[in-house]
Amino acid sequence: MRESRALPGVLDATLGLFSLLLLPSTVFSQTDPATEPAVLAVAKVLPAVVNINTERTVRRQVSDPFDDFAAQFFGVYRNRPREIRQRLQSLGTGFLVDPAGYIVTNEHVVERAANLKIEVITNDNKSFKARYITGDAKKDLAFIKIDSDQPLPFVNLHDISPNLLGQTVIVVGNALGYGSSISRGVLSGVKRDITIDNIDYHDLLQTDAAINPGNSGGPLIDLSGRLVGISSAKMAFTPQGIPTQGLGFAIPAEIVRQNVEQFKKIAEKQPTPKPGAAEKETGSSSADRLFGLQLQDLTNDLAAALGLASGKGVLISAVEPDSPADEAGIERGLVIFRIGKYEVNSVKEVESLLARADSGSSVDFAVGVVGRAGRGQRVETVNLEAR
C-alpha cells in the first residue's frame, strides 16, 4: 500500500491557518480608544486644567505740547511727563495644584500690572475671578488663587514624571483660545538654556509636541498623567533668524514643585481679602481705577495759563482710552466742578468722595470749562458707571 506524504511546507501552512481560525475574534478587533494610555492620561489631568484670561493696564510716559505750554507757567510739568495707559488682554493656561484653589501658571501670562484682572474658566465651564498671589519672573512661574465652596480637582506635585528622553509627552492647554486642546510628542531634551526678550531661562525641557499661543502655563504630562513640566515657550526662529520645527520648551516639574512650596508659604502670610473687594494697585487713584480719569489740582498759576477761573474745580490731565470717561466723551483739559451734589476744588476732595465707590457704581460728574471772569462758561452733568 502506497503512503500518502504531504509536503512539509504545505502541512505547516495548513496547521498555521487552522490555529489562526481557533483564536478569539477579539485578537483582530481594534483596541478600544477609551483604554488608550493617552486618553486615560488626559482624562485624569483635564479636570484640573484651567483657561486664564487676563486684562491689565500698562503705563507709558509721553510728553506733548500741552505740557510744554504749561511748563512756561508751571515749571513742575517739566519733570512730570504725561502718563498714558493702555489696556492689554492675553490668554493662557494654568492648572490647579491644591484643592483649595491654588493655580500655577507662567508669570508672563499674569504679569503683574496696574488694574490686573484675571478670569479663570475651569474645565466644567465655571468662571472665577482670581487674585494674584506671587510669582518669579526669572523662572517664569506665577501663583494665583480662586475661591470655591467645594474642593477642586488638582495635579499631584508629589508624584511627577521621571522625565526620560524619548518618552511620550502631551501638551494640554488653551491653544489659540481653544480650551482643552491636546498635542502629542516626545521629550526631546533636558537642561536646555534659551534667551527670550533678553531674559535667560535655564534647565528647560525640550519637546516636539506643539506649543501654541495660549498653551503657556499649561501642564506637559506623560502617559501616566504625571506632570512632566509647564509649557513655557516655543522657538520659531533661531537667533540668526532661521526657521525651526519642533522646538518647544517647558519648565521641569521638579522646579515647579519647589517653587509652589515657596509660593504657598507666601500665600499663608497674606491676609484673606474681603469678599467682593476689588484689587487696587498701590498708587492708583479711585478716579483713575474706576473711571479712567487722571487729575491735577487747578492752581492759580495753572488756571491763569489756561484761561480758566481760578479756585474752582479739578483739572482733567489725561483720559484713558476706552475708559468710562472716554466713552462718555470727557476730554483732557476739561474741569470737574462737582461730584454728585458736592463741589470739588482739589484731587484730595475728589478721592474722598470716590472712596466709597466700587465697580458698578453710578456717579454724576459736573464737567466743563469756566473762563476767567465767568466768560465762556459751559458745564454739563455726565453720569459715569464705574468699571
The answer to whether 333 and 368 have CB atoms below 8 angstroms apart is no
Q: Kindly tell me the sign of the dihedral angle through the C-alpha atoms of 41, 44, 47, 50.
A: negative
* Burial tier of 77 (Cβ tally within 10 Å: 0-12, 13-18, 19+): buried
The answer to whether 328 and 386 have CB atoms below 8 angstroms apart is no
Distance CA 258, CA 136 (A): 12
Annotation marks residue 68 as catalytic: no
Distance CA 341, CA 345 (A): 13
Given the residues 181, 216, 232, 323, the one annotated as active site: 216
Distance CA 89, CA 66 (A): 30
Spatial CB neighbours of 254, under 8 Å, sequence gap ≥ 6: 160
Given the residues 108, 222, 231, 288, the one annotated as active site: 108
Annotation marks residue 108 as catalytic: yes
Cα–Cα separations (whole angstroms), residue 13 to 6, 22, 297: 11, 14, 100
Centre a 10 Å sphere on the Cβ of residue 366 and count the other Cβ atoms it contains.
19
Annotation marks residue 362 as catalytic: no
Among candidate residues 54, 44, 222, the one with its CA nearest the CA of residue 135: 54
Among candidate residues 65, 252, 295, 49, the one with its CA nearest the CA of residue 154: 49
Given the residues 140, 222, 231, 288, the one annotated as active site: 140
* DSSP string for 22-35: HS-GGGTSPPPGGG
Residue with cell 478716579: 287
Q: Which residues are catalytic?
A: 108, 140, 216
